Structure 1
Amino acid sequence: MTPIQVVLADDEAMVRAGVRAILATDPDIEVVAEARTGRTAVDLVRAHRPQVALLDIRMPDLDGLQAAQEIAVVAPTTAVIMLTTFGQDDYITRALTGGADGFLLKASDPRELLTAVHAVAGGAAYLSPAVARRVIASYRTQGPHDEARRVITTLTDRERDVLVLLAAGHSNAEIAAALFIVEGTVKAHVSSILDKLGTRNRVQAAILAHQAGLTP
């Protein structure tokens, strides 16, 4: 099995060393390059085309949020995880709407980092539980958005079923089991959902589902 290739970017050498050490405990993950600035991270992602880019938010030259947006353009198949000390709501919103596939706090359990890398490399999304609670709470207080409701009407009934489960954080395998369909069919539905909703990844689709009031 080919290891999941990762580009790691953080402006603090000790932090990079710590994250690299955690990733090294998993034989299925390989750090192929490291960067201390967002600009270098984008260049390395363009050169290596890794499955995952781990980006700190606060970096010189180009911050992680800006780097994530550029990576979405130059390497759209590379999943991005924001790894940061800061969990402010504005950072979370900018990261997720900007195309990040995951958001992880540096204070999280190290096992979460490994879980997150595997999740986003497999096409899923991963939010630190504390972050997920804040995101969901935010959309509950905002109430449904008319535009989100309008876009949701483009989905078939089955696609809506898949989206509801996706927004609840279920994997493709779990969605398949819940709906009594094969996993390949779920993948096809997810691809169609992302296309119809104009979203880059599962996180953005889940956000739109919350905005449309599809989730409790």
Structure 2
Amino acid sequence: MKKIRVLIADDHHMVRQGIKQILELENDIEVVSQASNGEEAVKLAREFKPDVILMDINMPGMNGLQAIEELKKDEGVYKVVVLTIHQDREYLFKTIQLGAEGYVLKDAEASVLIEAIRTVSEGNSYIQPNMTSELVREFTRISTHSRSKEEENVLTSREIEVIGLIAEGLINKEIAKKLYISEKTVKNHVSNIFKKLNVSDRTQAAIYAFKHNIKA
């Protein structure tokens, strides 16, 4: 079985060792390297080519945000899960803007972190479930009446309504009720949205809506 190769970037040695011990209890995960700051994370990522990087935000010298920005210059080679104490939606929004694929809080259950690693390694996005409301609040805060021509051309007006409701955390049944259409019609719209935006799950669709200020 091919293992998911992980790099841990955190300035606290005991934190890194604790995470390493947790992850290596899993048969499909191995920790290939550890970094104590952003500069080391960038250097070791380019050396070891891990499948997933666990990135703390607050580190001396180059911080986690700067490291993500630097790594994302390498044409999408690296998948990053931010592992942080910060519950502030501004940090969540910023890491998404920089291209991070995942966001998990340090006080989360080990199972949440493991799920995030596996999800991101498969090419999907992962935001810790209880942080979704923060994403929606930040989305609402920055929403404007303007909408880019690109998304107007890509999505129909109904699809824009649907993806906006997905970003608010509604399931298909709730969207159908809100828009007075059948659940089957909602499923068709969701499928079309995924195809048009080239995304594979609702989290990625919500992130797209968030980034492009799409609101139902």
TM-score (normalizing by structure 1): 0.76
Q: What residue is the counterpart of 1:198 in the other structure?
A: none
Gaps of 5+ in 2: 172-186
* CA distance, structure 2, for counterparts of residue 76 and residue 70 of structure 1: 11
Question: Structure 1 residues 83, 146: CA separation in 2 closer, same or farther (over 3 Å shift)?
Answer: same
What amino acid maps onto 2:215 in structure 1? G
Q: What residue is the counterpart of 2:151 in the other structure?
A: 152
* CA distance, structure 2, for counterparts of residue 40 and residue 33 of structure 1: 10
Q: What residue is the counterpart of 1:105 in the other structure?
A: 105
TM-score (normalizing by structure 2): 0.76
Counterpart contact for 1:7–1:31, Cα < 8 Å:
yes
* CA distance, structure 1, for counterparts of residue 49 and residue 2 of structure 2: 14
Q: What residue is the counterpart of 1:93 in the other structure?
A: 93
Question: Structure 1 residues 142, 61: CA separation in 2 closer, same or farther (over 3 Å shift)?
Answer: closer
Q: What residue is the counterpart of 2:211 in the other structure?
A: 208
Query: How far is the alpha carbon of 1:102 from its aligned partner?
Result: 1.0
Q: What residue is the counterpart of 1:65 in the other structure?
A: 65
Q: What residue is the counterpart of 1:55 in the other structure?
A: 55
* CA distance, structure 2, for counterparts of residue 180 and residue 21 of structure 1: 43
Question: Structure 1 residues 88, 186: CA separation in 2 closer, same or farther (over 3 Å shift)?
Answer: closer
* CA distance, structure 2, for counterparts of residue 108 and residue 18 of structure 1: 13
Q: Could you give the per-residue CA deviations for residues 102-131 of structure 1, whole angstroms, max 9, x where no partner exists?
A: 111101111100010011111111112232
The structure 1 segments of at least 4 consecutive aligned residues displaced by more than 2 Å after TM superposition are 140-145, 163-170, 178-182, 185-191, 201-204
* CA distance, structure 2, for counterparts of residue 25 and residue 206 of structure 1: 36
* CA distance, structure 2, for counterparts of residue 74 and residue 43 of structure 1: 12
Q: How does 1:161-180 map to 2 (within 5 A)?
A: 164=163, 167=167, 178-179=187-188
1:132 counterpart SS class:
helix
Larger Rg: 2
Counterpart contact for 2:9–2:36, Cα < 8 Å:
yes
What amino acid maps onto 1:137 in structure 2? R
What amino acid maps onto 2:87 in structure 1? G
What amino acid maps onto 2:21 in structure 1? A
* CA distance, structure 1, for counterparts of residue 150 and residue 193 of structure 2: 20
Query: How far is the alpha carbon of 1:181 from its aligned partner?
Result: 10
Counterpart contact for 1:37–1:59, Cα < 8 Å:
yes
Q: Could you give the per-residue CA deviations for residues 65-107 of structure 1, whole angstroms, max 9, x where no partner exists?
A: 1101111112513111110112223322221111111111101
2:72 counterpart SS class:
helix
Question: Structure 1 residues 102, 145: CA separation in 2 closer, same or farther (over 3 Å shift)?
Answer: farther
2:99 counterpart SS class:
coil
Q: How does 1:16-35 map to 2 (within 5 A)?
A: 16-35=16-35
What amino acid maps onto 2:12 in structure 1? E
* CA distance, structure 2, for counterparts of residue 80 and residue 143 of structure 1: 26
* CA distance, structure 1, for counterparts of residue 65 and residue 22 of structure 2: 23
Q: Could you give the per-residue CA deviations for residues 1-54 of structure 1, whole angstroms, max 9, x where no partner exists?
A: 311111110010010011111211221111111110111101111112222110
Counterpart contact for 1:82–1:103, Cα < 8 Å:
yes
Identity of aligned residues (%): 28
2:54 counterpart SS class:
strand
Gaps of 5+ in 1: 171-177, 195-200
Counterpart contact for 1:101–1:202, Cα < 8 Å:
no
